């Protein structure tokens, strides 16, 4: 069946429009948020970087569905006008219009469903209130989580434009704060890139974010060399040599002393000793994060015998002590997967999970999440 001249012109127009839109969009590209956030280069992303990816996708899908429905309705309407009374053409065009309207209706229902699901999942039951008013209730304390932001539409959560308007200094439950955005996110009002979020602050200075590289475990930590019945120390010196190589040569973390001999306690070794073989790969990864987030340090205790809590395959180490390092580790313990820090009485304000226990030696006793 040949297309009529009008239908042919309409199809040609739609094709031309499809080819023109991307070019027209290029002029506005600087004003639109990229789908992948700037923080992907370093891995220093925060909650809004993740949320904004899904919000951006949602906007694109909804706008695309509405535009497509409009084009289908226009195309079907043109077919009705040019059908010259042909019942088959009129019937097919009506079905197209009904399908477009139903499809758009499903999109709108999904739109509201997303808002409802986010509200329910992110707001405690005791705080759920379906009143859409944005007037603050001064007699009611609002929880500081994503549920706090849902007095606005979900597509306004983690709004880049609000971040720019407030220059990353939003207060309270607002997501217009660099506390919620990863390093490298532009936050100056003119969107020129003169200021960017860096470690929770909007600054014009260079952001020295260190890319965290997860250590690659050697074969000894995976399959070939293990000590299945070991509780402390090491059964094969090769395991310690390979782990020490990963720490010192790949991660840049020094070990203070040579390996202990077998199951010999470090207390019985003249001058002391430090064994690192048998540390879990996850502990090596967490030590790399501590170095990247805080500062360089020396490992002073690992899996050697003689400790009450250290041992083979346990995520426990001793680290050289400095005031800035222990403060950084304590302040960022969740991000660094630290579950316990013990140290001397002089720095007891940074200890947690140790009760009244105080270390005698000047070091940081750290236990990581397995």
4 within a domain of the structure (yes/no): no
Instruction: Looking at the structure, tell me whether residues 45 and 185 fall in a common domain.
Output: yes
User: 307 is in which domain, residue-wise?
Assistant: 219-368
Instruction: Looking at the structure, tell me whether residues 205 and 237 fall in a common domain.
Output: no
pLDDT at 226: 66
Instruction: Looking at the structure, tell me whether residues 238 and 179 fall in a common domain.
Output: no
pLDDT 10s digits, 95-154: 888 888 888 888 777 767 766 666 566 555 544 454 444 444 444 433 344 444 445 566
7 within a domain of the structure (yes/no): no
The listed range with the strongest mean pLDDT (4-13, 144-153, 220-229, 320-329) is 320-329
Instruction: Looking at the structure, tell me whether residues 263 and 323 fall in a common domain.
Output: yes
Domain boundary among the residues 163, 181, 210 is at 210
Phi/psi of residue 203, nearest 5 degrees: -140, 155
In order of 7, 71, 98, 123, 177, the CA distances from 11 in angstroms are 6, 10, 20, 48, 47
Q: What per-residue string of b and e applies to 6-41 under the rule 16 or more CB within 10 Å gives b?
A: eeeebeeeeeeeeeeeeeeeeeeeeeebeeebbbee
Residue range 183-212: mean pLDDT, rounded = 80
pLDDT at 81: 84
Instruction: Looking at the structure, tell me whether residues 232 and 199 fall in a common domain.
Output: no
Domain boundary among the residues 151, 186, 210 is at 210
Cβ atoms within 10 A of the Cβ of 272, count? Answer: 16
Instruction: Looking at the structure, tell me whether residues 331 and 230 fall in a common domain.
Output: yes
pLDDT 10s digits, 218-258: 433 343 456 777 788 777 888 888 899 989 998 999 999 99
Helix orientation angle between 47-81 and 5-26, rounded to the nearest 10 degrees:
160
Give the residue with greater pLDDT, 264 vs 329: 329
Q: Are 215 and 251 within 8 A, CB to CB?
A: yes
Instruction: Looking at the structure, tell me whether residues 297 and 155 fall in a common domain.
Output: no
pLDDT at 143: 37
Residue range 59-79: mean pLDDT, rounded = 82
pLDDT at 317: 95
Instruction: Looking at the structure, tell me whether residues 179 and 258 fall in a common domain.
Output: no
Instruction: Looking at the structure, tell me whether residues 201 and 225 fall in a common domain.
Output: no
187 within a domain of the structure (yes/no): yes
Number of domains comprising the chain: 2
Phi/psi of residue 295, nearest 5 degrees: -165, 175
44 within a domain of the structure (yes/no): yes
Domain boundary among the residues 210, 241, 260 is at 210
pLDDT at 172: 59
266 within a domain of the structure (yes/no): yes
Instruction: Looking at the structure, tell me whether residues 197 and 286 fall in a common domain.
Output: no
What span, in angstroms and rounded, lies between the C-alpha atoms of 8 and 5? 5
Show the tokens assigned to 280: 């879990």
115 within a domain of the structure (yes/no): yes
Instruction: Looking at the structure, tell me whether residues 243 and 339 fall in a common domain.
Output: yes
Beta partners for 197? 202
138 within a domain of the structure (yes/no): no
Instruction: Looking at the structure, tell me whether residues 189 and 93 fall in a common domain.
Output: yes
With cut-offs at 50, 70 and 90, classify the pLDDT of residue 366: very high
pLDDT at 284: 92
188 pLDDT above the threshold of 60: yes
Show the tokens assigned to 29: 């590209």
68 within a domain of the structure (yes/no): yes
């Amino acid at each position: 069946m040949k297309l009529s001249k009008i239908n042919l012109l309409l199809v040609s127009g739609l094709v031309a429009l499809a080819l023109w839109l991307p070019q027209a969009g290029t002029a506005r590209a600087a004003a639109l948020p990229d789908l992948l956030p700037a923080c992907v280069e370093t891995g220093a992303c925060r909650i809004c970087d993740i949320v904004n990816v899904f919000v951006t996708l949602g906007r694109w899908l909804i706008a695309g569905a509405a535009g497509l429905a409009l084009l289908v309705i226009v195309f079907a309407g043109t077919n009705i006008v040019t059908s010259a009374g042909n019942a088959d053409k009129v019937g097919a065009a009506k079905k197209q219009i009904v399908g477009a309207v139903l499809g758009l209706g499903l999109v709108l229902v999904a739109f509201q469903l997303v808002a409802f699901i986010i509200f329910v999942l992110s707001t405690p039951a005791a705080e759920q209130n379906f009143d859409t008013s944005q007037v603050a209730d001064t007699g009611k304390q609002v929880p500081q989580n994503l549920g706090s932001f849902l007095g606005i539409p979900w597509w306004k959560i983690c709004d880049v434009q609000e971040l720019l308007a407030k220059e990353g200094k939003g207060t309270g439950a607002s997501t217009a704060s660099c506390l919620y955005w990863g390093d490298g996110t532009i936050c100056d009002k003119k969107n020129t890139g003169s200021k960017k979020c860096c470690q929770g602050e909007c600054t014009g200075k260079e952001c020295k974010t260190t890319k965290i590289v997860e250590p690659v475990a050697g074969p000894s930590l995976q399959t070939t060399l293990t000590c299945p019945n070991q509780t402390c120390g090491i059964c094969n010196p090769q395991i310690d040599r390979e782990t020490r190589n990963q720490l010192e040569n790949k991660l840049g973390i020094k070990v203070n002393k040579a390996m202990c001999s077998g199951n010999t306690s470090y207390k019985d070794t003249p001058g002391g000793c430090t064994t690192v073989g048998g540390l879990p790969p996850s502990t090596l990864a967490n030590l790399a994060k501590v170095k990247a987030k805080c500062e360089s340090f020396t490992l002073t205790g690992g899996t050697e015998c003689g400790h009450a809590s250290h041992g083979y395959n346990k995520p426990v180490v001793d680290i050289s002590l400095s005031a800035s390092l222990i403060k950084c580790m304590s302040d960022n313990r969740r991000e660094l997967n630290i579950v316990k820090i013990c140290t001397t009485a002089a720095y007891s304000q940074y200890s947690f999970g140790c009760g009244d226990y105080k270390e005698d030696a000047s070091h940081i006793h750290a236990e990581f999440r397995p």
